[in-house]
Amino acid sequence: MTGPSLDDFVEMPDEVDDETAEQLADQATETQDMTGEVCPYPQVEAKKAIQTLDSGELLVQETDHVPSTENVPRAVGDDADARVWRSGSGLYRIFLRKR
Amino acid sequence: MSGVDELTPNEVRARLAADAEFDLVDIRDREDFEDAPIDGAENVPVDELEAVVEEREWADEVVVACYVGETSVQAARLIDHYADDAEVASLTGGYEAWDDS
């Protein structure tokens, strides 16, 4: 494919740079490895995990499924603030800070 | 980025009942599709969609389905970019809504 790919049609939340992503990863209360998993499992697991966190705690979800970078933040809705880091090699980290 | 239309399961079933010519594309992975297919749908897993979206001949109307109707919106945006003049829509609520209705 020479033109736009699926990445270009996913409306992901604000992106963070590499340094910020490392700092956030160190703060994680819980990390979920969702590589290889597709909808709806990442959304379901994120919603379950967010419910167990206290306000201010951080859930990090690792994914290689680009649509999850839009769908997971949407699934948790107003329960968390979302940011995303893209590695550049197909791996993404979604940071969800419980409100 | 433009949005895409959404169609309810009943609207899609009405098109199927009327033998309307459209592509009903289910982008769930093969295992999920085989376990619980949507009647009349063709399975093109989302991870394989990019490989065919540009070259494929799309019908004048395309409806995209996934599990809960979220990834299908993104896939529909992609198809809408490549499918000249086609009306591309997402199945509202995906398979779950289809199965419940």
Q: How confident is the model at residue A74 (pLDDT cuts 50, 70, 90)?
A: very high
Flag whether pLDDT at B3 surpasses 90: no
Residue B74: which of A2, A6, A43 has the nearest Cβ? A6
Residues of chain A above pLDDT 90, percent: 94
Contact B71, A40 (CB under 8 A): no
Question: What is the token pair recorded at A53?
Answer: 């966190």
**Cα–Cα dist B4/B80, whole Å:** 8
Question: What is the token pair recorded at A93?
Answer: 């980290």
pLDDT tens, position by position, B70-94: 999 999 999 999 998 899 999 999 9
What is the C-alpha radius of gyration for chain B, rounded to an integer number of angstroms?
12
Question: How many CB atoms are closer than 10 A to CB B74?
Answer: 28
Q: Tell me whether A63 touches chain B (CB under 8 Å).
A: no
What pLDDT, on a 0 to 100 scale, did the predictor assign at position B67?
95
- For residue B4, the SS3 value is coil
Please, which residues 21-80 of chain B have a Cβ atom closer than 8 Å to chain A?
A: 28-29, 46-47, 49-51, 53-54, 66-68, 70-71, 74-75, 77-78
Mean pLDDT of A38-64: 96
Q: How confident is the model at residue A2 (pLDDT cuts 50, 70, 90)?
A: confident
Q: Tell me whether A40 touches chain B (CB under 8 Å).
A: yes
Question: What is the token pair recorded at B6?
Answer: 């959404």
- Residues in A closer than 8 angstroms to B71, CB to CB, are 38-39, 67, 71
Q: Tell me whether A71 touches chain B (CB under 8 Å).
A: yes
What pLDDT, on a 0 to 100 scale, did the predictor assign at position A32?
98
Give, in order, the Cα–Cα distances in Å from B56 to each of A5, A87, B30, B51, B53: 15, 31, 19, 9, 6
Q: Is A88 a catalytic residue?
A: no
**Cα–Cα dist B28/B47, whole Å:** 9
Flag whether pLDDT at B2 surpasses 70: no
Give, in order, the Cα–Cα distances in Å from B92 to each of B62, B67, B98: 14, 10, 9
Contact B41, B65 (CB under 8 A): yes
**Cα–Cα dist B29/B27, whole Å:** 6
| Residue scoring higher pLDDT (A39 or B62) | B62
Residue B50: which of A1, A39, A43 has the nearest Cβ? A1
pLDDT tens, position by position, B22-62: 999 999 999 999 999 999 999 999 999 999 999 999 999 99
Contact B38, B65 (CB under 8 A): yes
- Residues in B closer than 8 angstroms to A5, CB to CB, are 50, 78
Q: Which of A6, A38, A39, A44 is catalytic?
A: A39
Question: What is the token pair recorded at A67?
Answer: 């649509």
